[in-house]
A = this chain, B = another copy of it.
Amino acid sequence: MVGGGRDAFIGAVHRHAMALDGRYELVAGALSSTPEKALASGRDLGLAEDRIHADWHALLADELKRPAGERIDLLVIVTPNHLHHEVALAFIDAGFHVACDKPLVHSSAQAEELAARVAARGTAFAVTYNYSGYPMVREARELVRAGAIGKVRKVIVEYHQGWLAGALEQSSNKQSSWRADPTQSGPGGALGDIGTHAENLLSTVTGLAIEQLCAELSSFGPGRLLDDDASVLLRLSGGARGVLLASQMAVGHENDLRLRVFGERGSLDWRQEDPNVLMHLPLDAAPRRLTRGSAGLSESARRGCRLPPGHPEGFIEAFANIYTELAADLQAGTRTGDYPRVTDGARGVRFVERAVASQGQWIAF
């Protein structure tokens, strides 16, 4: 693992997710931006002293010195965004499989470079768009694929958070400070942090391509350099229309991600804060409340369930589904698992890039 040491948020989530199904063991790391903190963080997590490294260069060098059978099976990148590119590139080139947080990198050029390198080396590469791991998101995707709601006409995806309603980045909050800094976070603020999740959810579930977009970005937080609010109109393949809303200044909203898909013969409605339920509204019958774990779900959704219906599975479980599918691929040497790839990550980067470029006008994707 690179990143994810003391004071980090998402690294611990990755570790819980990896632990849940017993498929991973954390054995080595360069966990923080200073050698001291990296050391302390490694000890916190019980790593062997010789596998705690001051930075990712040392980690890579050390791994390459080891015999193949003693090397890490997977590198997990959970640093601030600006480091994703160089770290990923170096490890891919060295033949390592990689899991990387989102947004993947800062620019489409970087993303395409990564994608090309992954394709060339044949390594596995997962982007942790964790929301796609929820069983009922998978079910939504399968229902669309199976034609249960007919041709998709419109998609609304919205992601509301309120934690940046004030100027949190001017406090000592580490999560907000790097995210608010374009050199670390990339060109998108809310757009990069949560808009990419929304884009991924829309693309994953509907299978439609964004052809054009018109994005209105705003910064409401005092002195904020990046957007904290985005409203984006989309024209999707096949004539469908889309609306993507992402905001981090929506006071009182915690992690309010919702996807609605309207088709010719039905609609779907899923909310991340009540993730075990998917509403299916058919054309000529009463709305159906589909639940995780219940009978009649697709194989794909069922595979992501550990518990019977009514026993809530949450964020970590969905995250773990990404890792567990990746583990199966790593173990079998396949590349068929149900998890987001480097190309999904690249599309998210492009989404941010084009939304920033739009400046309120329709432009091609």
Q: Enumerate chain A interface residues (CB-CB to B < 8 A).
A: 9, 12-13, 15-16, 19-22, 149, 153-154, 156, 158, 161-163, 165-166, 214, 216, 218, 220, 229, 231, 233, 235, 241, 243, 245, 247, 249-256, 260, 262-267, 272-276, 280-291, 293-296, 306-317, 360-362
Bound state CA distance, A289 and B75, in angstroms?
40
Bound state CA distance, A216 and B216, in angstroms?
14
| CB of A142 to closest CB in B, whole Å | 15
Q: Which residues of B contact A20 (CB under 8 A)?
A: 16, 19-20, 316
The 6 nearest A-B residue pairs measured at CB: A252-B281, A254-B310, A255-B310, A312-B314, A314-B314, A286-B288
Contacts A310-B273, A313-B315 given; does A216 touch B231 at CB 8 Å: no
Can you tell how many copies of this chain the complex includes? 4
Bound state CA distance, A9 and B260, in angstroms?
30
Neighbour of A154 across the interface among B166, B250, B260, B293, CB < 8 A: B250
| CB of A255 to closest CB in B, whole Å | 3
Q: Which residues of B contact A235 (CB under 8 A)?
A: 216
Neighbour of A252 across the interface among B251, B282, B312, CB < 8 A: B282
Bound state CA distance, A22 and B316, in angstroms?
14
CB atoms of B313 and A316 under 8 A apart: yes
Q: Which residues of B contact A275 (CB under 8 A)?
A: 312
Can you list 18 A-B pairs with a CB-CB distance of less than 8 A?
A: A154-B250, A156-B245, A162-B267, A165-B283, A166-B283, A218-B241, A220-B264, A229-B241, A247-B262, A251-B262, A251-B264, A252-B281, A254-B309, A254-B310, A276-B314, A286-B296, A307-B316, A314-B314
Neighbour of A255 across the interface among B285, B309, B360, CB < 8 A: B309
Q: Which residue of B lies closest to A163 (CB)?
A: B308
Neighbour of A15 across the interface among B22, B280, B309, B362, CB < 8 A: B22
